[in-house]
A and B are shown apart, each in its own frame.
Chain A
């Protein structure tokens, strides 16, 4: 019985992290950084500077808010950053080479 209880508690402990609330804030910030990297490599800084800068600004905000413990705002800003870097990439490829 005790073993069963222990294993159940262990499972709860593990799943609380992975399936608790979808993505964790740090994961989203990582994703935002990756999308920014992709946008930079696609020369969005040159061809879609407004969109790329907005993605960068939201990334900075998400880092700032997360570091201060406001995870909800951090998540939202990271998502916004990803959204704007995607916009930058799409604009860059609309223009062509």
Chain B
């Protein structure tokens, strides 16, 4: 009987402990939990701040007033501090822990805007998890609160991870001079250096420039094909509305003729110009006449007409403005361009 009684007693004790164990453990107000997690008054840690804030309050002004006020009024004023407004102070105490929470929250939201999920996914995830847990972990409709010590630890950890995430966001892992957040914003890989891409681009640009230069030089060669740029440049000026060569210019023309005769491969290009007076069609004809006059003179002196090319530009390419007679005279002209074949033909 005694044995049976003992067994029953043990079993009943076991049932009681098992059913109560979890409730007992979860109950923060239980004696055991209070021993395990001793309640900490945050107010004590906040007290210095409270003092700081109270210093900013207008109380010191009142003290100044006291020094100025007469003795009767001093008694009244001295009585006032006996009934301070406790509601305001309590509010200040409550705000302090929430500000830290809010600060970290703001920082995390800022980091999210700077692509922290791409640059520092681990750090930002840990910071967020600790911050959310500090406020209480949501379980379906309930919120599982953590005790005050854990709350402080979680906030501390969240702060540390947020700072680590910030460092990573502004860091330059691939050492190309562009921070991580900027690279993500630009759509490039933050772990791969952009310098390689820049080098590739530079190479491509160089190649394209080389190709362009080669093609340009080919074009120039085509233009020059067999002929070099001007060798001798001469000019003949004319009187108003006339196409006769002045005697003064004949020695110059003779020099050119001699040179052309000595070098049978040379070609001549003559371009006639006029001043701005008169209609365009007339001036074009006049310019052509002037070029022809020079050409005729050259032909007279034994230059083959095949070697001479003429062009009448008329009212174009003024050397000076046509404001006075001297300028107009300078513009009324026929330009000579003597060209010789290139040394390497077809180059």
The answer to whether A and B interact is yes
Chain B residues whose CB sits within 8 angstroms of the CB of A6 once the complex forms: 7-8, 11
Chain B residues engaging chain A, CB cutoff 8 angstroms: 4, 7-8, 11-12, 14-15, 18-19, 22, 25-26, 28, 33, 36-37, 117, 121-122, 124-126, 128-130, 133, 137-139, 142, 144-147, 150, 154
With CB as the reference atom, state the residue of chain B lying closest to A59: B129
Report A45-71 CB contacts with B as 1/0, cut-off 8 Å.
000011111101110010011001111
With CB as the reference atom, state the residue of chain B lying closest to A45: B122
Chain A residues whose CB sits within 8 angstroms of the CB of B12 once the complex forms: 9
Chain A residues engaging chain B, CB cutoff 8 angstroms: 2, 5-6, 9-10, 12-13, 16-17, 20-21, 49-54, 56-58, 61, 64-65, 68-73, 75-77, 79-80
Q: Can you identify 12 A-B contacts, CB atoms within 8 angstroms?
A: A5-B8, A20-B18, A49-B125, A50-B121, A52-B125, A56-B125, A57-B126, A57-B128, A68-B147, A69-B25, A70-B25, A70-B28
Q: Could you tell me if A17 and B8 are in contact, using CB atoms closer than 8 angstroms?
A: no
Q: Could you tell me if A75 and B144 are in contact, using CB atoms closer than 8 angstroms?
A: yes
Number of A-B pairs, beta carbon distance below 8 Å: 100
Q: Could you tell me if B125 and A57 are in contact, using CB atoms closer than 8 angstroms?
A: yes
Q: Could you tell me if B36 and A68 are in contact, using CB atoms closer than 8 angstroms?
A: yes
Q: Could you tell me if A80 and B137 are in contact, using CB atoms closer than 8 angstroms?
A: yes
Q: Could you tell me if B36 and A9 are in contact, using CB atoms closer than 8 angstroms?
A: no
Q: Could you tell me if B36 and A53 are in contact, using CB atoms closer than 8 angstroms?
A: no
Chain B residues whose CB sits within 8 angstroms of the CB of A72 once the complex forms: 26, 139, 142, 144
Chain B residues whose CB sits within 8 angstroms of the CB of A73 once the complex forms: 133, 137, 144-146, 150
Q: Could you tell me if B144 and A76 are in contact, using CB atoms closer than 8 angstroms?
A: yes
Taken together as a complex, chains A and B put the C-alpha atoms of A2 and B146 apart, in Å, by 45
Chain B residues whose CB sits within 8 angstroms of the CB of A54 once the complex forms: 125-126, 128-129
Chain B residues whose CB sits within 8 angstroms of the CB of A21 once the complex forms: 22
Chain A residues whose CB sits within 8 angstroms of the CB of B147 once the complex forms: 68, 70
Chain A residues whose CB sits within 8 angstroms of the CB of B22 once the complex forms: 20-21, 71
Q: Could you tell me if A9 and B125 are in contact, using CB atoms closer than 8 angstroms?
A: no
Taken together as a complex, chains A and B put the C-alpha atoms of A39 and B128 apart, in Å, by 20
Contact of B19 among A10, A20, A61, A77 (CB under 8 A): A20
